[in-house]
Structure 1
Amino acid sequence: MADAPRFAVRAIELFERPVQLRLPFRFGVVTLREAPQAFVRARIELPDGRSQWGAAAELMAPKWFDKNLQLTNEDNFDQLRGVLRMAREAYLGDSSPTSAFGHFARHHDAHQAACARRGFNPLLASYGPALLDRAILDALCRLDGASFYAAMQANRAGIDGSHPQFAGLGVPALLAQLRPAAQIEARHTVGLVDAITAADLQERVNDGLPETLEEVIATYGHRWFKLKVGGQVDADLARLQAIAAVLDRSPAPYFASLDGNEQYESAAGVAELVAAIRATPRLARLWSSIAFIEQPIARKLALDADLRGADLGKPVIIDESDGELDAFVRARARGYAGVSSKTCKGVYRSVLNAARCAAWNRDEGTGRYFLSAEDLTTQAGLAVQQDLALVNLLGIGHVERNGHHYVNGMAALPQAEQQAFLQAHPDLYERSHGAVRLAIRAGRLAVGSLDCAGYASAAMPDFAAMQPLAGSEAP
């Protein structure tokens, strides 16, 4: 695109800091209690010599990118560090100027191939470029003095057909018509070991923050929920009934997604759970409130499973199966209706899939295809703000948020860093129980302050308080 600045990427710095969870979070095959958060700083330089730094952050979540049970959590962290280092080497290896999207398009296929040679799956491989691309976009926005929204609406990133998957979808026209909102509904995650009522607690954390589903609703006022199931029908039914007993107390409507976490091997297995839910009177309201089912079938089998003949009663989306850029195309052919947006998979991937949904819905004259917004325990600061801004840009009205519940906000960060984010984004954060944290009121997040110069952040992390990414030379 003629209006997209061309620049070189001159420097990329990689950092990490530890994150401790206040509550254990079980998703699929892992119960998470701690994990590092990765940070990227990137400096870009225009042909006229002007340069700027940008940044991005993302938790290194184990057993999501690669669920191989032979690997430890530390093995998973090292994999994620590895793909970050590989992406840095690739992006710095070609200094010729191109657009922000051009840097992504230039390296995507070769990076995926290089990762495959090391045994890294496509979803895992995407993590490295996803962070670098966001840091580069942040730098570009800061050079322009423009918000992420304004930059994307004007396609300052230069998204075009230079990668074939993006050709012919009218991405610039789609971006130009997007209109971000002032608030987003926060969809609360109910993990597989989360307490539903106080009777489920063996011991309390006693930090003053909500610990049960009952307390979460009373504190934050959520109307949207994400309910995880474990693949055992009887156990899932019992747990869903316990959840429904709490949710059904509300006289107002509530809404939910059902997350299968790859726990099923076939559409028939999912259909068995659905039939059991439908046959359980105590789950009638909950079932009517479910908007979609997320990735119920294991990723190795999901795109071979044809859902079109299964009686599932709700649209089904892919999440972990969204490894390659064409995964949603293949999923659509198997009867899937949607795909998740996650910044850990890449901003451009989300834009690509949004354009596909718009094109397919237009062609079919329906509203069948959609993006959902999912969380990977994004943490307060850059990670959650950049993810929220992407979700909001794409017009997704609710987003799974769980990082604020399982981690005690910014409690582990330097006080000056906490205060900087609170002052820069007073609608999004509050100070309570000794730390700055997300402010969720009536189940919603106020995101107006994300419309600022840069990629959704008018504050920066304290990089001096971090460690260089393990295995990387000091920046």
Structure 2
Amino acid sequence: MTAEAPRLSIEAIELYERPVHLRLPFRFGVVTLTECPQAFARVRVTGPAGRSAWGAAAELMAPKWFDKNLDLTNEQNFQQLRTVVHRAKEAYLSDRTPTTAFGHFVRHHDPHEKACGRLGLNPLLANYGPALLDRAILDALCRLQGVSFYTAIQANQAGIDESHPQFAGLELPQLLRSLHPAASIEARHTVGLLDAITAQDITHRVDDGLPETLEEVVATYGHRWFKLKVSGKLQADVTRLTAIAAVLDRRQAPYFVSLDGNEQYASAAEVAELLAAIRATPKLARLWSSVAFIEQPISRLHALDSDLHQTPLERPVIIDESDGPLDAFVQARARGYAGVSSKTCKGIYRSLLNLGRCTAWNRTQHDTHYFMSAEDLTTQAGLAVQQDLALVNLLGITHVERNGHHYVDGMAAQPPAEQQAFLQAHSDLYEYSHEAVHLAIQGGRIHLDSLACVGYASGAQPDFSAMAPMGKGIDA
């Protein structure tokens, strides 16, 4: 245990939610999303000398990602997510013995995952609950200590050690000291399967003044990085990618692309067929040369059974939805995968663990073969986007999938006082336009200096009085 890491007891946990309505429908994999709730957690901790502080975190309850069972409705998916958050709350309040922030994670991670498994809830889904609470605890820790998230992690005030076997041998405290956040990060724009590429693709405009097509997005925000969804339907994918390339190829400067399969392929051979078709299409030559990596193309049911060594895909492949148990990246590496995604909904300690793995594996190979990517289009303006941006920035990742500003009208649905509080505290991160506060993207970049404030990357707080208590879960 790190001696300097303060021991905390958890005194109270409050759970809230509020609705999020999309300005544009978004299709990923098997779902088209138009609305869903956002979860909020407030946690009060007491530290040394009896001092107390509140911390908070937020996360969208995205349906059909944590559990893609088509027999379940979106509402049933929301109930699953409420269940794991309530169960995590019960677990974290069940033992008031003081320990470090990381100690609370270690104390509850494995038992919580097993308890959820007995309810038929998979590890990816189960970890949503502790991931939300762990961020709120870290926020409270930072406020108690009067430091930023960056300082707290660099100095290992969370107390990350080898008390969980997955963290053994990685020398994480030394690695954390070497991390240095950047002043800005590139935003990687996701092009969903329903997204309009040009104005000719729009049958009904929203007409809210914000970009609605890929053409308009590029002109407005100046992105260089793009994430392109593919559907698993070969000809449809080639046709759509060709339309996307016709827009992106207008840029004289280089652009960069990731391909996201969202588990739509049954095998590596099917993925290879798509890539062969891309290479065989002259109009996709520049796009193919710009592909940096491929994200989770194979269904999680088979992804870690598929040995990518046997089917070279010519681009690195990462796991995302397969990243359920803590050792998933270890399993994936053995099957030929080169990377793994960081998402706050999967847990900050998981991201730091996987950074340690990449560092150790690359050091052994004297290479940079293993890497992490930053993937999450669901983070909403406010706590969620700020905490995720701070995490991936400290991890040293230089571009991040960031799309809440595109599919949701910023903070338009929030009380005006809340919007102004976030705008004033983070004037580099947000701008006021089109009658609401929105994430500011200029030249394809997001400026991050204001995230180095006291607390976990937020100098403002949501209006919890304007929210509803989180609904009960399926086993309540």
Cα distance in structure 1, aligned partners of 2:191 and 2:8: 44
What's the offset of the Cα at 1:31?
Answer: 0.2
Q: Deviations over 1:85-109 (max 9, x none)?
A: 0000000000000000000000000
Q: Secondary structure at the match of 2:25?
A: strand
Query: Which segments of 5 or more consecutive residues in structure 1 lack a partner in the other structure?
Result: none
Please name the residue that 2:429 is paired with: 428
In 2, Cα distance between the equivalents of 1:129 and 1:217? Answer: 37
Q: Does 2:380 match 1:379?
A: yes
Give how far 1:402 is off. Answer: 1.1
Residue matched to 2:69: 68
| 1:399 shift after superposition | 0.1
Amino acid at match of 2:117: A
Residues 76-95 of structure 1 aligned to structure 2 (within 5 Å): 76-95=77-96
Q: Which runs of 5+ in 2 are unaligned?
A: none
Q: Residues 76-475 of structure 1: matches in 2 within 5 Å?
A: 76-471=77-472
Helix, strand or coil for the counterpart of 1:329? helix
In structure 2, how many angstroms separate the alpha carbons of the residues matched to 1:256 and 1:54? 36
Say whether the 8 Å CA contact 2:223–2:443 is kept in structure 1: yes
- Residue deviations 1:289-331 (CA, integer Å, cap 9, x gap): 0100000000010000000121311000000000000000000
Cα distance between partner residues in 1 of 2:95 and 2:48: 15
Amino acid of the residue matched to residue 389 of structure 1? A
Contact 2:190 2:377 in 1 (8 A): no
**How far 1:197 moved relative to its partner?**
0.2
- What secondary structure sits across from 1:48 in the alignment? helix
Q: Quick one: which amino acid aligns to residue 191 of structure 1?
A: G
How many equivalent pairs are there?
Answer: 472
Partner of 1:6: 7
Deviation at 1:335?
0.1
Deviation digits for residues 100-132 of structure 1 (CA, Å, limit 9, x no counterpart): 000000000000000000000000001000000
CA contact (8 A) 1:264 1:298 kept: yes
Q: Partners of 1:7 and 1:315 in 2: how far apart? A: 41
Between the aligned partners of 1:198 and 1:334, the Cα distance in structure 2 is 42
What is the identity, as a one-letter code, of the residue corresponding to 2:331?
R
Q: Which consecutive aligned stretches of 4+ in structure 1 deviate over 4 angstroms post-superposition?
A: none
1:26 corresponds to: 27
Asked if 2 retains the 8 angstrom alpha-carbon contact of 1:185 and 1:399, the reply is: yes
Contact 1:61 1:376 in 2 (8 A): no
TM norm structure 1: 0.99
Residue type at the aligned position of 1:274: L
Structure 2: distance between partners of 1:7 and 1:187: 37
Q: What SS does the aligned partner of 2:305 have? A: coil
- The one-letter code matched in structure 2 to 1:50 is R
1:250 alignment partner AA: R
Post-superposition CA distance 1:400-454 (Å, at most 9, x none):
0111100000000000000000000000000000000100000000000000000
CA distance in 2, matches of 1:46, 1:208: 48
Paired residues of 2:6 and 2:48 also in contact (CA < 8 A): no
| SS of 1:293 mapped into structure 2 | strand
Sequence identity percentage: 75
Secondary structure (helix, strand or coil) at the match of 2:302 reads: helix
Whichever residue aligns with residue 143 of structure 2, its letter is: R
| Distance in 2 between residues matched to 1:376 and 1:322, nearest whole Å | 17
1:419 aligned counterpart, secondary structure: helix
| Cα displacement (A) at 1:229 | 0.1
Displacement of 1:244 after TM fit? 0.2
Do the aligned residues in 1 keep the contact of 2:343 with 2:351 (CA within 8 Å)? yes
Letter in 2 for 1:340: S
Give the SS at the match of 1:308.
Answer: helix
Q: Letter of the aligned partner of 1:43 in structure 2?
A: R
The 8 Å contact of residues 222 and 444 in structure 1, kept in 2 or not, is answered as: yes
CA distance in 2, matches of 1:470, 1:116: 21
Q: How far apart are the structure 1 equivalents of 2:421 and 2:48?
A: 32
Query: Within 2, Cα distance between the matches of 1:327 and 1:67?
Result: 18
User: One-letter code of the match for 1:332?
Assistant: R
Q: d(CA) in 1 for partners of 2:12 and 2:91? A: 12
1:303 match: secondary structure? helix
Structure 2: distance between partners of 1:471 and 1:306: 41
SS in 2 for 1:440: coil
Cα deviation for residue 376 of structure 1 reads 4.1
Tell me if the contact between 1:59 and 1:376 (Cα under 8 Å) persists in the aligned partners.
no
**2: distance between equivalents of 1:393 and 1:301?**
32
Cα deviation, residue 471, structure 1: 1.9
Deviations 1:232-269 (A, max 9, x none): 11000000000000000000000010001100010000
Structure 2 length as normaliser, TM-score? 0.99
Secondary structure class of the residue paired with 2:108: helix
Aligned equivalents of 2:449, 2:371: Cα separation in 1: 24
- Following superposition, the deviation at residue 7 of structure 1 comes to 1.1
Q: Match of 2:54?
A: 53
Give, as a single letter, the amino acid of the residue that structure 2 aligns with 1:452. C
Aligned-partner Cα distance in 1 for 2:239–2:347: 37
Q: Deviation at 1:48?
A: 1.6
For residues 174-193 of structure 1, the C-alpha deviation after alignment (integer angstroms, 9 at most, x for no partner) is 10000100000000000000
Secondary structure of residue in 2 paired with 1:79:
helix
SS of residue paired to 1:313: coil
Query: Counterpart amino acid of 2:352?
Result: V
- Check the 8 A contact 1:377/1:402 in 2, yes or no: yes
State the AA in 2 paired with 1:440.
Answer: I
Q: Deviations over 1:50-86 (max 9, x none)?
A: 0000000000000000000000000000000000000
Partners of 2:48 and 2:147 in 1: how far apart?
19
